[in-house]
Structure 1
Amino acid sequence: MGRITGGFATGAVIAALVFAGCGSDGDSGDSASTSTSGGGGGSSEPYRVYASLSLSGPLAGIGTAEQHGLEAAAEVLNAGGGIDGRRVELDINDDGSDPTQAVSLLQRKLTGGDKPDLVWPGSTSNVTLALCPLLMQQRVLALGITASSDIGDLDRCGYNFVMGPAPADSQRAVAEQLVQRGYRRVAVLLSNDAYGEAVQKAVEETFPEAGIEITQIENFAPDALDASPQLRRLRDTNPDALFIEGQGAALGKVLESRQQLGWDVPVVGGTGFGGSNVAALVGPDALRDVVMWQWGVGVRGSEPVPELYEQTALPAIQRAADGELRVASNLYAGGYDALMVADAAARAARSVDADAMRDALRGFAETPPSDPQWVMLSEYPYTAEKNFSGLPPGDFALALPERLDDHGQVPPARAAG
């Protein structure tokens, strides 16, 4: 359904690429269509969705799940007539989690006169933040799930909408769970990327507000093979619990390092941790006394929209993924909901014009769509001041890091006490 574009830019500088002109004298490169319409072109033209994804490297599993979610939504929407009467057409691109690569590929698309109607702006916050200025300059709408707090800067990322909570909202909820479980002294281990930086800022704000003492914060690389030095330093602070946030295979190395050290401190993982299928990365001994804060759609019995998820979204996702969900279902549902949110915005705006759809999205808090088809969250209450969807009550839950079932779900954690 989609076409994958690869290759790495040589000697590229992000700032130069972002502000380079997009005139007609550029190379058309890998253009999927010769149309230059950015919206409102009518049913004879496709609704073009450009996806920048981590399809290679340590986060390839996450990017592939996001791709399958987009493919599933395109299938469902096209069966019903597409978006605003236009068939959804996916253009899948591998950015390898490299911001420079991501900007280069999108710049090539725009220079070739092939402006997309919608962009999925990366599997990592680093990529999204690199793309934001280009999306603003070209007035291209974007929907994604990366959650650095800097994406909330509307002067920088005003055309980007996040299908999830801001880090402060997420970590405030985590802090409440930690307190309920009796943890008052907590050590923190975070990935050293843009998302990890945002989580650290949020943790430093929200944990003390909840009465939690942060004993120490350490960081690990997204491609880390060992985290023993960081864990030793954290163990020396004698915490009640360890909070871990990051995503991908490096989490398995973190948990293996904890096991090798013989450190039996209780672990609470964040939503990135929860989506990474850690039970497939390590054995059961490394998962003792581990729980994780997870999207409800990834926890059995906690789906925000259970009937629509089970009857429509999940079968399409399973077809796109050849029957096997290898990471948590929320990562598939993120891609799925991106197109469903776009569809709701187009219906509200009665147009696929980027500015009209942006205005419609900003009204979702005050005037929610009457019949939304999304499944990952129960609502997406955007406003003119807030491009994060927030943390709807009941849409998140603590879960156990067990093997995923065929729905991409895990069981809920036992209640505190």
Structure 2
Amino acid sequence: MTPFRSATATALASTLLATMLTGCQFGGQAKDNTPIVIAADLELSGAAAGVGKAYRQALELKRDQLNASGALNGRTVELLVKDNRSDASESLRNIADFSNDSRVSAIIMGGCNECAVGAVRTVNEKQIPTVALAAAGAVASPVADRRYVFKLAPNAADNAGALTVELRRRNIRTVGVLRSDDAYGREGVQALRGEFDKAGIEVLAETSVRGTDTEVDRQAGTLAAAKPEALVLWTAPEQAMLGATAVKRAGFRGSLFLDAAAAGDLFLGTAGRAADRATMVFTQTMVIDDVIATTPAKAARRQWFQDYTARFGGYHGSSSFAGDALQLIVDAELRAGGPAGKVDRDGLRDVLETSQMDGLSGPIRMTPDNHSGLMPQALTTLVARNGRWRLAS
């Protein structure tokens, strides 16, 4: 072999070896450096913009934390965010656009119940894994018709059960109910009445409020006139605070109880006096600064609370659901594997369906029979004191 040919062969062998060492991992698979692209359809304007903003902030914070963690095997998380304007038709257009983008591994949807339920057919037809932060049971059930849809929010039956336990503990026998005029509100009243019947609690009055309503004096008057011992506010955060203020103005002096969907900002602002001593069923993370961090999971929740508060100047209760949704999808993407540089939506869906973690919101368990992952044990009792929510003693 001539010196030229020998040198050429040596150089070629070196090049091939370098390529194999830098381009391959265990099992001969090429290292995947492509970003994990996750889309988000959120209510950034319109009636539900307050919660939508909190979700966006949480997603951006969690993305930054994951990208800085060094735990993604050289990959990064990218977010594609679109505003659905709190409108189901706009949301459906966003879902279709995201589904047709081959870079997108999965979608996170906001708290709009009509948006999430209305997107089920498209999500299943496009076969794109979707985690919704909406509370309505119809988002993720029946599972047979929602193979690609998952839900990460408190469930109506769990909320109703926890509220009923607290009402019975207080010896309350008559209530009024202000509910949202949507699927979750109707589902909630049904769940409440089922629990109330077993506990011997009577509903003296029930009224509803739309997500776009900015005053609820008429409904408050009806509820106060019935003179129940307590009122249950089963609405979005804005309407819950409006309701608390309006019923006090209408002369109601009984106790207020809020379900988990009513959780908003940690500090109650102008509604603080009206909501004082109100009880809410929600996750412990909202008041984690009242909790001694005795486990790694509690320590992680406290750190999340502190990081969110430091960056955004306050804390919103529902932010942890968005953070957990992003974590679930990223974990599933990494576990699903698949060819480098290729999005494997079916593989990701299969992993999501058996995902378990002790998340920021509490224990989360997905199964093939249950796509609504937040466990009942995640819920605890909070009380409003001195203008903010506290852990009930």
Per-residue deviation, residues 176-203 of structure 1 (Å, max 9, x unmatched) = 1111111121111101122212212222
Question: Paired residue for 2:223?
Answer: 234
**Distance change >3 Å, CA 314–CA 256, structure 1 → 2:** closer
Instruction: Using the aligned pairs only, state the percent identity.
Output: 21
2:351 to 347, 360, 365: 360
| Deviation (angstroms), 1:175 | 1.0
1:397 and 2:376 aligned: no
Structure 1 or 2, whichever has the larger Rg, is 2
1:80 corresponding residue in structure 2: 69
Identify the residue that residue 298 of structure 2 maps to in structure 1. 306
1:383 has 2:367 as partner: yes
Map of 2:114 onto structure 1? 126
For residues 66 and 402 of structure 1, what CA distance do their matches in structure 2 show? Answer: 26
Q: 1:394 to 1:63 in 2, by over 3 A?
A: closer
Which of 321, 331, 334 does residue 334 from structure 1 map onto? 321
For residues 316 and 326 of structure 1, do their structure 2 counterparts lie closer, same or farther at Cα, with a shift above 3 Å needed?
Answer: closer
Distance 1:401 1:133, change over 3 A: farther
Distance in 1 separating the partners of 2:135 and 2:300: 25
Work out whether 1:317 is the aligned partner of 2:308.
yes
Deviation at 1:67, TM superposition (A): 0.7
The alpha carbon displacement at 1:52 in A equals 0.8
The alpha carbon displacement at 1:289 in A equals 4.2
Contact 1:47 1:83 in 2 (8 A): no
Query: 2 CA distance for matches of 1:281 and 1:183?
Result: 28
Contact conserved, 1:183 with 1:240, CA < 8 A, in 2? Answer: yes
The correspondence of residues 2-41 of structure 1 with structure 2, limited to 5 A, is none
Map 1:98-113 onto structure 2 (within 5 A): 98-111=87-100, 113=101
Partners of 1:394 and 1:108 lie apart in 2 by 34
* Secondary structure of the structure 1 residue equivalent to 2:367: coil
Structure 2: gaps of 5 or more residues: 1-28
- If asked which structure has higher relative contact order (CA below 8 Å, sep 6+), I would say 1
Q: What amino acid is aligned across from residue 317 of structure 1 in structure 2?
A: Y
C-alpha distance in 1, partners of 2:87/2:360? 29
User: What is the letter of the counterpart of residue 33 of structure 2?
Assistant: S
**Structure 1 counterpart of 2:280:** 292
Runs of 4+ in 1 over 6 A off after TM superposition: none
Q: 1:41 to 1:86 in 2, by over 3 A?
A: farther
Change (3 A) 1:42 1:199: farther
The corresponding residue for 2:58 is 69
Q: Is 1:60 matched up with 2:39?
A: no
The count of aligned residue pairs is: 356
CA distance in 2, matches of 1:211, 1:353: 51
Q: TM-score, normalised by structure 1?
A: 0.78
Residue type matched to 2:350 in 1?
D
Give the corresponding residue for 1:258: 247
Is the 8 Å Cα contact of residues 175 and 204 (structure 2) preserved in structure 1?
yes
Match of 1:57, as an amino acid?
A: G
Q: 1:151-179 deviations in whole A, cap 9, x for unaligned? A: 12224432122223321122111111111
- Mapped to 2, the partners of 1:326 and 1:57 lie a distance apart of 21
Structure with greater helix percent: 2
Name which of structure 1's ranges 351-360 and 264-273 shifts more when overlaid on structure 2: 351-360
User: Compared with structure 1, are the counterparts of its residues 125 and 87 closer, same or farther at alpha carbon in structure 2 (3 Å cutoff)?
Assistant: same
Please give the root-mean-square deviation of Cα atoms over the aligned residues, in Å.
Answer: 2.6
TM-superposed CA distance for 1:283, in Å, is 4.5
CA distance in 1 between partners of 2:333 and 2:228 (Å): 49
Structure 1 residues 201-243: Cα deviation after superposition (integer angstroms, max 9, x where no partner)? 2222222223322222210121223222222222333322110
Q: TM-score, normalised by structure 2?
A: 0.82
Aligned to 1:16: none
SS at match of 2:163: helix
